[in-house]
């Protein structure tokens, strides 16, 4: 069972949460959702609001779900779920039911038309408030462009944190 906490009470190191522990970005209501593993993103305060941001390449199946839905969730898991996250990061929802293949249980999210996973230890539900396509002409460090050999630059999604649920 999840209990609600304030965004300022999120436990742990946020750099580790995203960069090392990874997360599932999920958009759409059950069962019409898709999820993908991500290790790029962040947390902060912008425009006086608690926000999370993530980035998705246009060719990813999840991209269309993010575009069509007003909200998204970020789900974080215990280390035992690393194989599930690896599967969700290496397979496309176009081809398989990733949640079923990974042994995850999609459930109705904290916000309307959202999905998160029963097995998550932490879920952050966000309302999209800004998007922006990354522009390589703005990279001040040219080596950043090395992340884009196919020139498939990410779209940034900024979400206002609307609900945080943590497993008891």
Asked if the model's pLDDT at residue 162 lies above 90, the reply is yes
First to last CA, the chain: 6
pLDDT digits (tens, 9 = 90+) for 144-161: 999 999 999 999 999 999
Q: pTM to 2 decimals?
A: 0.96
72 pLDDT band (50/70/90 cuts)? very high
User: What is residue 131's three-state secondary structure?
Assistant: strand
What is the domain partition of the chain in residue ranges? 2-167
Residues 6+ apart with CB under 8 A from 71: 27, 109, 111, 112, 113, 114, 125, 126, 127, 128, 159, 162
- If you classify domain 2-167 with CATH, what class do you get? mainly beta
């Amino acid at each position: 069972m999840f209990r609600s906490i304030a965004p300022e009470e999120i436990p742990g190191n946020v750099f580790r949460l995203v960069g090392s522990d990874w997360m599932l970005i999920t958009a759409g209501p059950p069962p019409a959702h898709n999820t993908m593993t991500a290790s790029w993103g962040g947390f902060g305060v912008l425009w006086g609001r608690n926000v999370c941001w993530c980035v998705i390449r246009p060719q990813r199946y999840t991209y269309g779900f993010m575009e069509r839905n007003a909200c998204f969730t970020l789900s974080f898991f215990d280390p035992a779920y690393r194989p599930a996250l690896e599967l969700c990061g290496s397979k496309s929802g176009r081809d398989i039911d990733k949640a079923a293949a990974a042994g995850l249980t999609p459930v109705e999210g904290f916000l309307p038309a959202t999905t998160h996973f029963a097995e998550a230890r932490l879920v952050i539900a966000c309302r999209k408030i800004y998007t922006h396509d990354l522009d390589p002409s703005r990279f001040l460090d040219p080596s950043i462009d090395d992340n884009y050999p196919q020139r498939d630059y990410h779209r940034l999604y900024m979400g206002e944190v609307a609900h945080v649920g943590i497993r008891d």
